[in-house]
Structure 1
Amino acid sequence: MASSLAFNAPAKAVETQVLTPFTAKYKVSKGRLNLGSAKRQLSQIGENRFTFSYFSDLSLLILSDHRRETSELIIEQNQKVKPLRYLFKREGTGSDKSTTLEFTNGQVLDVEADRPIDVAKDIQWYDEVSYQLQLKLDLAAGKQEMQYYLVNHKKRDKLYHFKVVAEELLEVPAGKIETVKLQRIRDDSSDRVTEFWLAPKLGYLLVRIRQERGGSEVADAQLEQYVFNPL
């Protein structure tokens, strides 16, 4: 009982800054179909040192997909994310997959293969989780458009481009929450749309993420519960 009551604590009860540790749970759907659940978690493990994690447990008919991604990182001057180590593990229908990356001295190391990935050394590289924390910090700093270079779990380099497009009062299972809406900017030939809603008053906590392809919804994750755990 005490655990459930801890969720959805009023924002005034804690100092909800971007780096306030939290756990957030999401309901994932596709139209009227319930696909499963997801969780995001930020934990502080030392001075200016954090882990940022994503977990998902999804299924559709006989297909299943279970994922865990964790980025160990440091924060410089409370505004710059520096990833150190990224772990990805996927299980379910089809082949299981795992990836471990290390970020050091401007290089990204493929730990399984024990060799560096061929990427430019003069660029700040992120993984698929750490860039999301940098995005929150950049929004808190007032930025309206952001770009991030990252190496994904397939060990491929990517450029992600985001832009703030609106402010919306959003109603999700966790309640009515004031948000800023972002859209991922892709080239004109792409038929994919990815939209994010984040809550400024909750340390830019992710409230909703929605994806569609070719005009059809692929997935919609909406915030169900959240709790902040200030040290």
Structure 2
Amino acid sequence: MLLCAGALLPTSLIAGELTQYQASYDILRKGKNHGEAVRELKKLSDNNYELTYHSNIEWMIFSDSREETSKFTYKDGKVTPHHYNMVRTGTGPDKDYKIDFDTQNKVVTSSTSEYPLKCEWTDEFQDAISYQVQVREGLKKGETNFSFPLIDKKGNRRDYNFEVTGTEMISLPIGNVEAIKVKRLYDNDKRQALAWFAPEMDYMLVRMWKGEKGMEQFEVQMNSFTVTQPVAAPAAVADKSDASVEAL
């Protein structure tokens, strides 16, 4: 059973807070399901949140399981990351690394380095998944271009740039969704990344597509979505046929 579009979110949210939720996704390659992913946002305390993204992929002899966690503050529409962790197991070497953003001393530290990273501090820093929350907040304001400085696992600064290319109706396991299409801008045209965010679902990420040299690498499609925070009134329930309605 799936929630219909009009009941996916509480009718009134506390101003200045993020919607807490759990969303599940199918991970596809050439139309075939090769894994699953779960994205969850929780409120920890006033202005403090935790976003997790856990995925499992099996494809031929390749396997990949990873969990990413971002702890951040959200205030006045701005996401400020404080801690990021990624654990990966599967084919090839396992990985486990952490990045901390010390906003008071304005330094970034990594579990792979003994000393603070040699990067010029900016209050605009995002981590590998917190920026997705900031994209959603920008879309709510009608913004069409985004640029975020990120710190990657090697401790290097990388600028992530995006632009809105339009809106379109897409078909997903959860139903038909009218979504805003966002394109990541690379330095060359060898890689492509697209994401779709649904305004009716509080601008949730409902589909993602990545490719290289025009060839699909994988696609992610939402198959379920649940608001986990208390709501004033119970949500209506409808079957899949009535449902209409996300990482880069």
TM superposition score normalised by structure 2: 0.85
Aligned twin of 2:224: 225
Residue of structure 2 equivalent to 1:59: 58
Query: Is 1:84 the equivalent of 2:79?
Result: no
Which position in structure 2 is the counterpart of 1:102?
100
SS, match of residue 201 in structure 1? helix
Task: For 1:103, give the aligned amino acid.
Answer: F
Which residue matches 1:8?
3
Distance in structure 1 (CA, Å) of the matches to 2:97 and 2:209: 25
Aligned residue in 2 for 1:156: 156
Q: Contact 1:19–1:203 (CA<8 Å) still a contact in 2?
A: no
Distance 1:21 1:100 in 2: 24
* Structure 1 counterpart of 2:35, one-letter code: G
Rounded to whole Å, the distance in 1 between the matches of 2:198 and 2:158 is 26
- 8 A Cα contact 1:207 1:223, kept in partner: yes
Counterpart of 1:136 in structure 2 is: 136
How big is each residue's C-alpha offset from its partner over 1:148-188, in whole Å with a ceiling of 9 and x where there is no partner?
0001234322111000001111110010111100100112x
Q: 1:10 to 1:179 in 2, by over 3 A?
A: closer
Q: Distance in 2 between matches of 1:101 and 1:137?
A: 23
SS at match of 1:134: helix
Moved over 6 A (4+): none
Tell me what 2:174 maps to. Answer: 174
Provide Cα deviations, 1:52-74, integer angstroms capped at 9, x if missing partner.
11110001111100010000011
Q: Is the 8 A contact 1:64 1:93 kept in 2?
A: yes
Normalised to the residue count of structure 1, the TM-score between the two structures is: 0.91
Give the CA deviation at 1:13.
5.6
Q: How many residues align?
A: 224
Q: Please, which runs of 5 or more residues in structure 2 have no aligned partner?
A: 231-248
Gaps of 5+ in 1: none
Structure 2 residue identity aligned to 1:14: L
Q: Is the 8 A contact 1:123 1:149 kept in 2?
A: no
Q: Is the 8 A contact 2:22 2:40 kept in 1?
A: yes
CA contact (8 A) 1:9 1:227 kept: no
The letter of the residue matching 1:205 is M
Deviation at 1:33, TM superposition (A): 3.1
CA drift at 1:9: 5.5
Q: Whose strand proportion is higher, 1 or 2?
A: 1
Percent sequence identity over matched residues? 28
